[in-house]
Structure formats: C-alpha cells, structure tokens
C-alpha cells in the first residue's frame, strides 16, 4: 500500500492499492488511495458529494486520510468552510502531523482570510520553527498579502534550507509575475525545470512565458520537450499548433490541430476546430474557415469568441449580412463586449451605415479596445 503518489506513478499506486484490497477487501485507506489514483487525471473535478467517495469516507469517518482527502476535495470546489472542518479533524486525529496544519493555512490563504492563516502559520512555526515548509508558507502568506519584498525574503530562506526543492522558485515566479518582472519570472521557472527536468509542467509554463514574449523558437522547444515527457497531454499539442500558427507555418499547425481531432475529447476538438478556422481564413479559404468555426459552435453553441471569429470569416468572404447577423448574437447577450462592438462597427461601415459605424467604434474605444481607439484616432481610456 505504501507508494509515493507525488512521484506521479499512478499505475504503481493503483497496483499497490488493489493488492492491499485483495488482502483486506473492506480496508477504507486502500479504497481511498485507489479512488484518488484512479481519478488522478480529473482530481480537481471531483465533487465533495461524490457518492463513491462519501461511501468510503463513512466506512471510518475518524481515519486521518479520509479527512485529508475530503478537505482537499472541498477546497478544490472552493468550499473553504468544509475544507477547514475536515483538515481540523485530521489535525486532531494526528496532532503532531504538520500536514493538516499547513493545509488549513493554505485553505485560509485561498479564502483570503489572512488573519486566520497567520494564526495557524504561527501555530505551525511553534511545532517546527524556522523549517523549510514554514518559510515556504510565510512566502505564500506574504504573496497573498501583496508584500512581495517579505515574500521573496521568506522564499530565499526556504531555498537555503532546501536548495534542491523547486517549490520556492515556483512561488518566486508568481511573485515576479505580480511585480511585472518577466525576466525574473522566466529565470525562476527555468530553475524549477533544471531541478525537476522530468516535470512537464515547468516546461509547459516556460513555453507559455516565451510565447507571451513572442520568443517563438524557445516556446516551441519547451512545448516539444514537455510533450515528450507527457505524450497524452493534448493541450501541449494545441500549444505547439498555436506557435506554428503564429510563425505562419500553417502546414505544421494544421498537423497539430488534426491530431487533436483524431485523439481528443469534445473540449479539445473545439480548440482544434477554432485553430483550423483561423488557418483557413489566413489562407483565404473562407468556406473551409466558416465550416470549422461552425463545427466548433456545434460543441459550444454560444461561445462568444468563436461567434466573433465566424462573423469575421463571413466578413472576409464578403457576406456582410451573415457577418452582422452572427456578431449580433454576441451583442444581444453581451452589449458591452469590447471586440464585438469593434468588429460590428467594421461591418456597419462596409454596409454603408457610417453613422452607426462611428457610434459602435466610439463605444468599443470607451470599453478599452485598443484597435478601436487607434481606428478612431483616440487615446485609450485610463
């Protein structure tokens, strides 16, 4: 039954839990570990009222791991009151264990209850003063409190205590992001990746950061390395497609999106149809572009961004009536959508309605859409 779940060896976790259950078929701890391992891919989607989970919990409500798992599931669903209840119970069951105490701190930080978080953090510090996790959570506490200088100070102390842990650097990257220091953010994540070279999350994050900076070659390299470590992650395939799209390498972009269509679920296919729609529009193949955006809308019929992209493809194909009809589906539900107002103003201009064109262009600019302000020759609103 003993396995390191943090090593992400899910198959081994499942095997050990199943073996334990062969010996003791009603053992709740083995059932809980098996449940968590089997749902590792969608763990954050598990609800606190999950019948299977509650049935296992009720086998022994005073089991430490039962309360820890219910606390985690409750917190994942933003039910901080119940999360606190379960973690506090776990702390009473195992009073010398710091894990439930730190989870209570994290729960209060996520609930933005800094006063309560500080009380429990001070309690943890008395149990294990000036230790790595204490500095780590103080760094997180100051991060939520927006005291970035103190956060970095605490995280540097954590690094001195445990220089091979990527966690302080990961938190530092968030601090630097909040401070607007992009270079330092990238360096922090690079350090994480160096410490855990087989962790695809850090490589994916690097890819995202380089993409934002428009360093497309480094972004692509990071995504490809991440995909080699986690070939089943189709979001990485989509990210690679996005980089190729931005590089105007439409053939390679198309390959990535088509792969998602072959292997993906409906959510992932929605993303792929969206990407293909944009490729075909750039290639001026408007019929194909329209068809792909319409396929995306079959999955998410009211998705605003897809409706806007579809309206733009109609506009590019000189079908002004359909472009107006489509964009109005967005504006009827969300009249203050900045981009929708801007695109609508373009369609109105093309249809000859200059008066309404100016009205919607000015409205889009007031809503803070940069392209509208540039077209109108006005400054962006503060």
DSSP per residue, 100-168: HHHHHHHHHHHTT-HHHHHHHHHHHHHHSTT-HHHHHHHHHHHHHTT-HHHHHHHHHHHHHH-TT-SHH
How far apart CA 106 and CA 128 sit, in angstroms, is: 17
Which helix (H) or strand (E) segment holds residue 231: the answer is none
pTM: 0.84
Determine the pLDDT at residue 5. Answer: 46
Rounded to the nearest angstrom, the gap between the alpha carbon of residue 73 and the centroid of all alpha carbons in its chain is 17
Q: Does residue 352 contact residue 320 with C-beta atoms inside 8 Å?
A: no
Task: Give the pair of three-digit tokens for residue 302.
Answer: 């009211």
192: closest CA among 215, 172, 214, 217?
A: 172
323: closest CA among 302, 297, 345?
A: 345
Determine the pLDDT at residue 38. Answer: 87
Determine the pLDDT at residue 60. Answer: 92
Helices (H) and strands (E) in the chain, counts: 22, 0
Task: Give the pair of three-digit tokens for residue 72.
Answer: 């985690």
Task: Give the pair of three-digit tokens for residue 304.
Answer: 């605003």
DSSP per residue, 263-278: H--HHHHHHHHHHHHH
Residues 6+ positions from 94 with CB-CB distance below 8 Å: 64, 100
How far apart CA 313 and CA 320 sit, in angstroms, is: 10
Determine the pLDDT at residue 8. Answer: 58
**pLDDT tens track, the chain, 382 positions:** 444 444 457 788 888 888 888 999 988 888 988 898 888 878 889 999 999 999 999 999 999 999 999 999 999 999 999 999 999 999 999 999 999 999 999 999 999 999 999 999 999 999 999 999 999 999 999 999 999 999 999 999 999 999 999 999 999 999 999 999 999 999 999 999 999 999 999 999 999 999 999 999 999 999 999 999 999 999 999 999 999 999 999 999 999 999 999 999 999 999 999 999 999 999 999 999 999 999 999 999 999 999 999 999 999 999 999 999 999 999 999 999 999 999 999 999 999 999 999 999 999 999 999 999 999 888 877 6
DSSP per residue, 308-324: HHHHHHHHHTT-HHHHH
Classify residue 175 as exposed, middle or buried by CB count within 10 Å of its CB (0-12, 13-18, 19+). buried
Q: Does residue 376 contact residue 365 with C-beta atoms inside 8 Å?
A: yes
Q: Where does residue 180 fall: left (phi above 0), alpha (psi -120 to 50 degrees), or beta otherwise?
A: left
Q: Is the dihedral of CA 264, 239, 244, 316 positive or negative?
A: positive
Determine the pLDDT at residue 16. Answer: 85
In the block, tokens 């209060």 appear at: 108
Determine the pLDDT at residue 382. Answer: 67
């Amino acid at each position: 039954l003993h396995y390191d779940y943090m090593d992400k060896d899910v198959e081994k976790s499942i095997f050990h839990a199943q073996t334990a259950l062969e010996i003791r078929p009603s053992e709740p701890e083995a059932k809980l570990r098996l449940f968590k391992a089997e749902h590792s891919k969608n763990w954050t989607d598990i609800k606190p009222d999950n019948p299977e989970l509650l049935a296992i919990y009720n086998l022994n409500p005073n089991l430490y791991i039962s309360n820890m798992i219910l606390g985690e599931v409750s917190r994942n669903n933003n039910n901080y009151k119940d999360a606190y209840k379960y973690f506090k119970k776990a702390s009473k069951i195992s009073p010398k264990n710091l894990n439930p105490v730190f989870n209570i701190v994290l729960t209060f930080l996520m609930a933005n209850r800094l006063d309560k978080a500080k009380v429990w953090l001070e309690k943890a510090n008395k149990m294990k003063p000036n230790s790595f996790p204490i500095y780590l959570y103080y760094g997180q506490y100051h991060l939520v409190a927006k005291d970035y200088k103190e956060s970095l100070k605490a995280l540097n102390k954590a690094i001195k205590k445990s220089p091979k842990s990527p966690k302080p650097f990961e938190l530092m990257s968030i601090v630097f992001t909040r401070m607007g220091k992009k270079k330092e953010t990238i360096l922090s994540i690079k350090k994480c990746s160096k410490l855990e070279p087989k962790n695809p999350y850090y490589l994916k994050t690097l890819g995202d950061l380089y993409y934002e900076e428009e360093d497309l070659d480094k972004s692509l390299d990071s995504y490809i390395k991440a995909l080699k470590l986690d070939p089943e992650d189709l979001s990485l395939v989509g990210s690679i497609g996005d980089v190729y799209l931005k590089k105007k390498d439409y053939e390679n972009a198309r390959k990535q999106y088509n792969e998602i269509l072959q292997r993906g679920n409906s959510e992932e296919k929605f993303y792929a149809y969206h990407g293909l729609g944009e490729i075909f529009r750039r290639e001026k193949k408007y019929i194909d572009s329209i068809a792909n955006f319409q396929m995306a809308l079959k999955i998410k019929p009211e998705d605003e961004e897809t409706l806007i992209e579809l309206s733009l493809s109609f506009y590019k194909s000189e079908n002004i009536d359909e472009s107006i009809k489509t964009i109005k589906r967005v504006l009827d539900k969300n009249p203050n959508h900045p981009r929708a107002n801007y695109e609508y103003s373009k369609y109105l201009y093309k249809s000859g309605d200059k008066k309404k064109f100016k009205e919607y262009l000015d409205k889009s600019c007031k809503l803070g859409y940069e392209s509208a302000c540039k077209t109108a020759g006005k400054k962006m609103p503060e």
